Amino acid sequence: MLQPYWPEPLMPNYRSGRVGFWSCQPTPALTNVPGYFIPVRQQSPGWMFKKGRTVWMSLTRMEVESQMMHIAAAHGHTVIGGMGMGFALFNMAMKPEVTKVTLLEIDPQVIELVYKVADLTQWPGYEKIEIVVGDAAEFKPHDPVDFLYMDTWSGLGSSKALPATQQVQKNVQAASVGYWGQEFDLVAYCQDHGTPATKIGRAAYRRFAEAAELPLIEQDSLAYPRLATLAVVLQTAAQTKDLPTRTMLQKAAFVMFNEQTEIDAAISRFSR
């Protein structure tokens, strides 16, 4: 279903390794995991970054799908806030539409780990990458920035996401901006301003972008606001411990997913 919207990203090759307290370790295959937009997915064996015993990052289906639209939006001079496992960097740097990538990362050990376990120097587009070590909030670019992607917090839907993005955008002044989990802020904004989740469309998304003072991606898309709402329902279900509430939210996500699939099928028949 997502293919007509955004291409499936690719995965860097990782291997086990360690830098300081950080390590890269394998994760097993899993069945029946929720994606970000797609209610049920199979999870291939993958990799995670741990700090001590705590898992800080892993490339689950949720993590992959939730970055698809940002990867699709990257172009020109792209600034990325947060290296993590380098997944967004890997996919953005290889795009021919991306002419330069400035990667902002506060923790030098994370950068060293990506070099060590994922052969960063061998990535397609490596010659376009400049890495700046430090707090993204303090970065001031020398060249105009076409696209800013921010992901420097842990936890989907974090209240830190919007202010952190706005802070970096103040200095960067990118022509377009995306940030991880922005769908949660869109839905919360709409609910606070009298638009129920089922009615969130393009106009509501544009109002949110204007209120956030960010030139957010996908503002011309009819499908994105529906997918954003679906993602929030699905992820809220995944995080809900109360079983009846979780089941109710999962059913709602399936209904929205099936509706969107039918709309896609109708549109593709009509446009043939």
Ligand X SMILES: C[S@@+](CC[C@H](N)C(=O)[O-])C[C@H]1O[C@@H](n2cnc3c(N)ncnc32)[C@H](O)[C@@H]1O
> In whole angstroms, how close is the CB of 70 to ligand X at the nearest point?
9
42: helix, strand or coil: strand
Query: Number of residues in contact with ligand X, rule: CB under 6 A?
Result: 21
Task: Give 136 or 216: the residue with its C-beta nearer to ligand X.
Answer: 136
Is there binding between residue 112 and ligand X (CB under 6 A)?
Answer: no
Only segment of 37-45, 77-85, 120-128, 194-202 that touches ligand X (CB under 6 A): 77-85
Only segment of 78-86, 117-125, 218-226, 236-244 that touches ligand X (CB under 6 A): 78-86
Is there binding between residue 87 and ligand X (CB under 6 A)?
Answer: yes
Is there binding between residue 14 and ligand X (CB under 6 A)?
Answer: no
Is there binding between residue 83 and ligand X (CB under 6 A)?
Answer: yes
Nearest residue relative to ligand X (C-beta): 84
Give yes or no for a contact between 9 and 91, defined as CB atoms under 8 angstroms apart. Answer: yes
Give yes or no for a contact between 108 and 133, defined as CB atoms under 8 angstroms apart. Answer: yes
- Residue 83: which residues within 8 A CB-CB, separation 6 or more? 89, 103, 105, 107, 110, 111, 114, 131
Residues 128-167 that bind ligand X (CB under 6 A): 135-137, 151-152, 154
Is there binding between residue 35 and ligand X (CB under 6 A)?
Answer: no
Is there binding between residue 98 and ligand X (CB under 6 A)?
Answer: no
Q: How many Å apart are CA 6 and CA 67, to the nearest integer?
A: 10
Is there binding between residue 69 and ligand X (CB under 6 A)?
Answer: no
Q: How many Å apart are CA 27 and CA 33, to the nearest integer?
A: 14
Q: How many Å apart are CA 146 and CA 173, to the nearest integer?
A: 9
Only segment of 12-20, 75-83, 121-129, 257-265 that touches ligand X (CB under 6 A): 75-83
> In whole angstroms, how close is the CB of 152 to ligand X at the nearest point?
4
Is there binding between residue 104 and ligand X (CB under 6 A)?
Answer: yes
Closest CA to 77 of 175, 170, 220, 178: 175
Task: Write out the two tokens for 123.
Answer: 């990535």
Per-residue DSSP letters for 151-183? --SSSTT-TTHHHHHHHHHHHH--SEEEETTHH
**Beta-carbon count within 10 A of 263 CB:** 13
- Binder of ligand X out of 9, 34, 39, 86 (CB under 6 A): 86
Is there binding between residue 125 and ligand X (CB under 6 A)?
Answer: no
Give the footprint of ligand X on this chain (CB under 6 A): 57, 67, 81-88, 104-107, 110, 135-137, 151-152, 154
